[in-house]
Structure 1
Amino acid sequence: MEAVAFMGVRIHRVYRQDLLGYILEAAGGRQQRLITNVNVRAMNLAWQDPYFRAILNGSDLVFVDGYGVVLGARLAGLTLGERLTPADWLDEMFEGCAEKGYGVFWLGDTEEVCQAFSLYLKKHHPTLRFAGYHHGFFKTHGPENEAAIAAVNASGAEVLLVGMGMPRQEKWLWENRHRLHARALITAGGYARIATGFIPRGPRWMTQHGLEWLYRLMVQPGYTWRRYL
């Protein structure tokens, strides 16, 4: 896929169906693929942290999750792909995985959120092979990390979604990718919280016009301003 360089980060010019097709192809293939995303926070982190920037540039596919990046690139004379917030397309990916028989594993967040997400998938995607979950609050080195990797591999999932927040989720995937059996490794941030209602989404007109950050700022000011402002 075509990629452009913006602020030192290689970002792919990808649209919804391109991304979904890429993930499903990776899940059924022999070669593992690391799929990450960028928003304003990611770009700020990449600017400050050369290691994080190297992880993004070493990813097989980097898609845009955040209208601020699209707008910034546009002001720089660059055209990126579609803004692809996971909450807008993951349900479609689950349906694609269900049709092909691919298993999905969730790694991240609290035990409470994981349990709620498991129920969400059983209700909304009953034919999906949800291979399991593991909370994200573990030490990333030592026995706890080994247990997390073992849980993912024992599940037999082809798709691994990791939602541990930036930059932890990217660094964990990068450092453990060669030990993971899943084929499609995808960063998913707080998706499980959004899907289960722990974090509310803005009205549709706001999400469609790139104003979800403003809604988040209104309902979660203490959390959002540190990430985006």
Structure 2
Amino acid sequence: MTEPVEILSISQFPVVSTTADALAARLLRVVEQRGQTLLIFANTNLVVKCRFLLDHVKDPGVLLVNDGIGLDIAAKLLHGKRFAANLNGTDFTPLLFSRSPRPLKVFMVGGRPEILARAVNHVEQRLGQQVVGSCDGYDGLRTAHDIDQRINASGAEVVLVAMGNPIQERWMLEHRAAVNANILMGVGALFDFWAGDKPRAPKLVQRLRLEWLFRLSLEPRRLLRRYTSDIMVFLYMCFKYR
């Protein structure tokens, strides 16, 4: 029997309110049943930058979950409730792997070559998964005209795409029909974290939901607009389409 799913609309995006354990169980069923789900972690930046996704969100194979305190604030303002849990690719991906009764076959796309190599090692040695292939997001991807065939030949069940939004979301939408993998996930800066190139915020900062501030302090030039003017655009769009 299918469990009821609560969906909170955030600026026209149907975002599923669920827990990490329930989401992991749902995705592992997709693997077991050989289906396909495109998993998107919806944060404030995605709501602002990825409006093209609205043409695809009614597809049952596309699943949006909430990422970050901005979505929680919007849910409280618009619906009078918060999401069941804070979900993000950095924390959720290792949890998904840990819930699988066996190592999953993983294909990794994105990142600089040296970052990707260290991230692959982390997934194999630290997380105990089977990396069946990889392709960096620079020359590797530009010259990999057979990337779909490579992914299918590898037998990959999970494709992790780390190119940041909106690039990774466009890539997954473009390739999902040709790829046989069961789960496609856009994971942003996750390979950088796994490779040790970027630090995670201290645990206390994470618990206080201030990891965004920690990242802003490390990369102010790249992230300042995302956490200032883009937040205002996000709130405007939330109320415009409430």
What's the TM-score, normalizing by structure 2? 0.84
Q: 1:161–1:113: structure 2 CA closer, same or farther, 3 Å change rule?
A: same
Paired residue type of 1:178: A
1:49-68: CA deviation from partner (whole Å, max 9, x where unpaired): 3x233244545321111111
What's the counterpart of residue 170 of structure 2?
171
Matched, 1:37 2:41: yes
The alignment-based identity, stated in percent, is: 26
Higher-helix-fraction structure: 1
Residues 139-218 of structure 1 mapped to structure 2, 5 A cutoff: 144=143, 146-218=145-217
Displacement of 1:90 in angstroms is: 1.7
Q: Superposed, which structure 2 residues align to 1:15-94 within 5 Å?
A: 15-46=19-50, 49=51, 51-58=52-59, 60-76=62-78, 77-94=80-97
Cα root mean square deviation, aligned: 2.0
Give the TM-score of the pair, scaled to structure 1: 0.89
SS in 2 for 1:201: coil
- Rounded Cα–Cα distance in structure 2 between residues aligned with 1:150 and 1:20: 27
Following the alignment from structure 1 to structure 2, what is the Cα–Cα distance between the partners of residues 119 and 129?
10
Give the aligned partner of residue 11 of structure 1. Answer: 15
Deviations 1:128-152 (A, max 9, x none): 2221211122698xx8353222221
Displacement of 1:162: 0.9
Aligned residues: 222
Residues 58-106 of structure 1 show CA distances to partners (whole Å, capped at 9, x for unaligned) of 4532111111111121122243231112222222222334x33431111
Match of 2:109 among 98, 107, 110: 107
Please say if residues 55 and 171 of structure 1, whose CA atoms lie closer than 8 Å, have aligned partners that are also in contact.
no
Q: Which moved more, 1:198-207 or 1:81-90?
A: 81-90
1:10 CA drift (Å): 0.6
Deviates more, 1:160-169 or 1:147-156: 147-156
Offset from partner CA, 1:14-33 (integer Å, 9 cap, x none): 11101111121112222211
Q: CA deviation at 1:123?
A: 2.4
Write the distance in 1 (CA, Å) between the matches of 2:11 and 2:95.
31
* Cα distance in 2 between the residues matched to 1:161 and 1:132: 11
Structure 1: distance between partners of 2:227 and 2:58: 22
Distance in 1, matches of 2:163 and 2:56, equals 16
Q: Indicate the SS of the match to 2:115.
A: helix
Alpha-carbon separation, structure 2, partners of 1:54 and 1:11:
15
Change (3 A) 1:219 1:10: same
Which residue in the other structure is 2:122 paired with? 120
SS at match of 1:179: coil
Q: Tell me the secondary structure at the aligned position of residue 146 of structure 2.
A: helix
Q: Distance in 2 between matches of 1:173 and 1:85?
A: 17
Unaligned runs of 5+ in 2: 229-242
